[in-house]
Structure 1
Amino acid sequence: MPVSVVVGGQYGSEGKGKVALALAREKAAHCVVRVGGTNSGHTIIDERGEPRSFRQLPASVFAKDTIAVLPPGALIDVDIFEKEVAELGLGPDRVKVSPFASLISPEDREKERSTGLVDRIGSTGSGTGAALVRRIDRGSAVRLAKGEPRLHPYIDDTARMMRDVLTKNERIVIEGSQGSGLSVLHGGFYPHATSRDTTAAAFVSEAGLSPFDVDEIVLVLRAHPIRVAGTSGPLEDEMSWKDLAAEAGLSEDYQELTTATKK
């Protein structure tokens, strides 16, 4: 089946959004899927040459006539969702949300910040991990997308919709989040990890599709991998932005900021 999965091969910020958009355009994708939560962001360059960054929607929705899908494995911050949908001028015909996706609450964000997670392991403090813990705990406090009135226009059976797309042999691009080096299971740097698995298999599962649907996995790497600044974890042979700028012939004050944290 025609499913492409875009995976970060390092610690995030590899350029997955740009690659996913290129794939969606090249293969005339019908659906583009964003898994995970708002603890990471994807950036593309729009038609005017301007960078555009998104933390909730798939950046590959910039491909013509694609439908953005937030599947059951998505963790949704409704404020960020509404902001990005409005920024792009998208309607319910272009954005579909599974009724079983989880919601991130203000309490989730506060819990991550008050427990010292941000200082301890460089967490983004987005509330994604806390929301995931509540979902696994299966308590009465869990809120799903189907219970949020602001999401009602976008709610759809995303599994059925994507199965119909695949039956017609139309392409789906799954835009994986973060990087495989941050996987809570397989990254190898625990506890300096994100709150979920970030491998291709996990992304397919979160999307609600089968491994047998996948005919392409694209691993995105960068020459100089980066991690969120601070206590997010180790890097071998770490160098400074000043040294990198000198080596690359860039201005002395060159640096990159992560999309979600601006660190």
Structure 2
Amino acid sequence: MPAVVLVGAQWGDEGKGKITDFLAKKAEYVVRYQGGNNAGHTVKVDDREFKLHLIPSGILYPGKICVIGNGVVVDPAVLLEELAYLAQEGIDTSGLRISSNAHLIMPYHRKLDEVEEERRGEHRIGTTKRGIGPAYMDKAARAGMRMVDLLDEEEFKAKLTRVLAEKNYLLEKVYQAEGFKIEEIFEEYVAYTERIRHFITDTSLLVNDAINEGRDVLFEGAQGTLLDLDHGTYPFVTSSNPTAGGACIGAGIGPTKIDQVIGVCKAYTTRVGEGPFPTELDDQIGEEIRKNGAEFGTTTGRPRRCGWFDAVILRYAVRVSGLSSLALTKLDVLDSLERIKVCTGYKLNGKEISEFPHSLKQLSLCEPIYEELPGWQENTSNARQFNELPLNAQKYIKRLEEIAGVPAAIVAVGPKRTETIQTKDMFAK
């Protein structure tokens, strides 16, 4: 009963969309378990490029069941835009299912996200201002609106009336911002309901039944380990749990259902937003990596900060998500480099440490300890077997495996589906 969880092993943007798309060819169900439209997956199919924010990238294969789980917060306007975009591209979206327990992003969530981030000033988090954090706040405060609420107009309006009174008070009295009119929101969301009603169901039951029937299920996380609300570089994190444990909560399955956990990581390191980044390269090499890797956010378009591969982060991801294998992406971005560095540890106040510190102050003081390896300066994008890679590229991957303690089951040498090397079949019976 192969049930495979795919997680980001760095700060997000590791190329999970490509790996999800690659594995979805064999999976029958693809399940997104957390986050919202603050995430983005770019998938290249032949000469066509698709950018998705909510719908699992398995939707690009016909006949797949693609699930938005209860752990996801959903902006119906964005969802409908994405459905329209896929329809325009000739993609069948009839396999989409949305959890009735998934929480809704409301207009006041987006507004609060904006005014709260502005008020933070120099202490801003770097939020995408799409209402993700405030939606999760309401979920924890038991003031959230769920998909199931949309199915009962009377109940939805009663809940909205109570919640909006509080939100308008907060916006108007604290932030001196304009509030919202209940009728406008109510009518807007009733209109959304008529277009998404047929997708809403008990997805926990659906997914558990699929696993029990021996079907292949792929769980797709957004963001990455170091953006996890509990285990990331807090407070510069997302508002949910991208680590493997989040798949159980966000999809409504038990931990005994999971067979494998794949950690996706780039052959180097990137991050978006604020916060310390020990291996960041603020030089010509960093700019070369950014240019060669097209390191700009799928959702925001923001340039990503680039740096050498950080094995301290990878070991941490292995520990907190129980990674059983790696999917190494964007190896080809390093093709032109003569020498390549790998951070194997940190130096903090003159003392060497090998584990990731929880204190942001300590992390900001950490100096990377590098191991330097020879580059290969050859094109890797045509390799389809591991032994077709340049010898130094093979040695680089094997060194990362040694440091992480887990094997690399997939190596991506370009953005296309075909530009992928697989050493292990995740769904082999």
Could you state the TM-score of these two structures normalised by the residue count of structure 1? 0.88
Deviation at residue 61 of structure 1 after TM alignment: 2.0
Q: Is 1:244 the equivalent of 2:244?
A: no
Match runs of 1:163-182 below 5 Å: 163-182=208-227
SS at match of 1:19: helix
Query: How many aligned residue pairs are there?
Result: 252
SS at match of 1:44: strand
Give 4+ residue runs of structure 1 displaced > 4 Å after superposition: 245-248
Contact preservation (8 Å) 1:33, 1:71: yes
Going from structure 1 to structure 2, the CA distance change for 1:234 and 1:170 (only over 3 Å counts) comes to same
Give the letter for the 1:95 counterpart.
L
1:106 & 1:217 partners in 2: Cα distance?
Answer: 35
Going from structure 1 to structure 2, the CA distance change for 1:244 and 1:76 (only over 3 Å counts) comes to same
Contact preservation (8 Å) 2:96, 2:199: yes
Contact preservation (8 Å) 1:96, 1:155: yes
Going from structure 1 to structure 2, the CA distance change for 1:91 and 1:147 (only over 3 Å counts) comes to farther
Contact preservation (8 Å) 1:145, 1:151: no
Query: Which residue, 61, 76, 79 being the options, matches 2:77?
Result: 79
Contact preservation (8 Å) 1:24, 1:32: yes
1:246 & 1:53 partners in 2: Cα distance?
Answer: 24
Contact preservation (8 Å) 2:62, 2:92: no
1:70 & 1:112 partners in 2: Cα distance?
Answer: 23
Going from structure 1 to structure 2, the CA distance change for 1:191 and 1:49 (only over 3 Å counts) comes to same
Measured on the aligned residues, the alpha-carbon RMSD in Å equals 2.1
For 1:194, the equivalent position in structure 2 comes to: 238
Contact preservation (8 Å) 2:13, 2:270: yes
For 1:121, the equivalent position in structure 2 comes to: 125
1:10 & 1:206 partners in 2: Cα distance?
Answer: 20
For 1:233, the equivalent position in structure 2 comes to: 275
2:85 & 2:27 partners in 1: Cα distance?
Answer: 22
Could you state the TM-score of these two structures normalised by the residue count of structure 2? 0.55
1:255 & 1:247 partners in 2: Cα distance?
Answer: 8
Match runs of 1:120-159 below 5 Å: 120-139=124-143, 142-148=144-150, 149=193, 150-159=195-204
For 1:56, the equivalent position in structure 2 comes to: 54
Unaligned runs of 5+ in 2: 151-192, 303-429
2:141 & 2:259 partners in 1: Cα distance?
Answer: 34
Deviation at residue 51 of structure 1 after TM alignment: 2.1
1:114 & 1:163 partners in 2: Cα distance?
Answer: 40
Residue deviations 1:149-174 (CA, integer Å, cap 9, x gap): 24211111111211221122111111
For 2:30, the equivalent position in structure 1 comes to: 32
SS at match of 2:4: strand
Contact preservation (8 Å) 1:146, 1:152: no
Going from structure 1 to structure 2, the CA distance change for 1:136 and 1:245 (only over 3 Å counts) comes to closer
For 2:9, the equivalent position in structure 1 comes to: 9
Q: Which has the larger radius of gyration?
A: 2
SS at match of 2:270: coil
Going from structure 1 to structure 2, the CA distance change for 1:241 and 1:4 (only over 3 Å counts) comes to farther
SS at match of 1:96: strand
Deviation at residue 222 of structure 1 after TM alignment: 0.8
Deviation at residue 135 of structure 1 after TM alignment: 1.1
For 2:367, the equivalent position in structure 1 comes to: none
1:19 & 1:49 partners in 2: Cα distance?
Answer: 17
Contact preservation (8 Å) 2:221, 2:247: yes
Greater RCO structure (CA 8 Å; 6+ sep): 1
Q: Higher helix share goes to which structure?
A: 2
